[in-house]
Amino acid sequence: MMKKQIAILGSTGSIGTQALEVIAENPDLFEAYALTANRNADLLIKQARAFQPEFAVIADETQYNNVKEALADLPIKVCAGASAIADVAEMQTPDIILTAMVGYAGLLPTIRAVRAGKTIALANKETLVVAGEWIQKLAIEHRAPILPVDSEHSAVFQCLAGEKDNEIEKIILTASGGPFRSKTLNELKTVTRREALQHPNWAMGAKITIDSATMMNKGFEVIEAKWLFGLSAEQIDVVIHPQSIIHSMVQFIDGSVKAQMGLPDMKLPIQYAFGYPTRLKNSYPRLDFTQSLTFEQPDTQKFRNLAFAFEAMRKGGNMPCILNAANEVVVEAFLKEKIGFLQMSDIIERAMHSLPFIQNPTYEDYVETDRETREFIINS
Indicate if 316-380 has the same CATH topology as 4-148.
no
Cβ proximity of 104 and 370 under 8 Å: yes
Q: How confident is the model at residue 350 (pLDDT cuts 50, 70, 90)?
A: very high
Q: Is residue 132 pLDDT above 70, yes or no?
A: yes
Local structure of residue 240 (DSSP, 8 states): E
Residue 90 has pLDDT above 70, yes or no: yes
pLDDT at 380: 82
Closest CA to 307 of 231, 224, 214, 243: 214
C-alpha distances (whole Å) from 174 to each of 117, 171, 292 are 31, 10, 15
Amino acid at 165: D
What is the model's pLDDT at position 202? 66
DSSP state of 296: B
- Confidence (pLDDT) at 200: 73
Closest CA relative to residue 333, chosen from 223, 241, 157, 206: 206
Give the model confidence (pLDDT) of 259-309 as tens digits.
Answer: 999 999 999 999 999 999 999 999 999 999 998 999 999 999 999 999 999
pLDDT of 353? 97
310-320: average pLDDT: 96
User: Do the beta carbons of residue 118 and residue 96 sit within 8 Å?
Assistant: yes
Distance CA 339, CA 64 (A): 34
**345 residue type, one letter:** S
4-148 CATH fold: Rossmann fold (3.40.50)
Cα–Cα distance for residue pair 6/18, rounded to 1 Å: 13
Over residues 235-257, the pLDDT tens digits come to 999 999 999 999 999 999 999 99
Domain boundaries, the chain: 4-148, 154-263+286-301, 316-380
State the sign of the Cα–Cα–Cα–Cα dihedral 163, 164, 169, 173: positive
Rounded average pLDDT over 174-181: 91
Angle subtended at Cα 326 by Cα 366 and Cα 364, rounded to the nearest 5 degrees:
10
Residue 15: pLDDT above 70?
yes
- CATH match of 316-380 with 3.90.660.10: no
Instruction: For residue 199, name the pLDDT band (cuts at 50, 70, 90).
Output: confident
pLDDT in tens, 357-371: 999 999 999 999 999
CA distances from 51 to 45, 54, 257 (A): 10, 9, 42
pLDDT band per the 50, 70, 90 thresholds, residue 105: confident
Mean pLDDT, the chain, whole residue set: 95
In 3D space, the residue among 126, 121, 87 whose CA is nearest the CA of residue 104 turns out to be 126
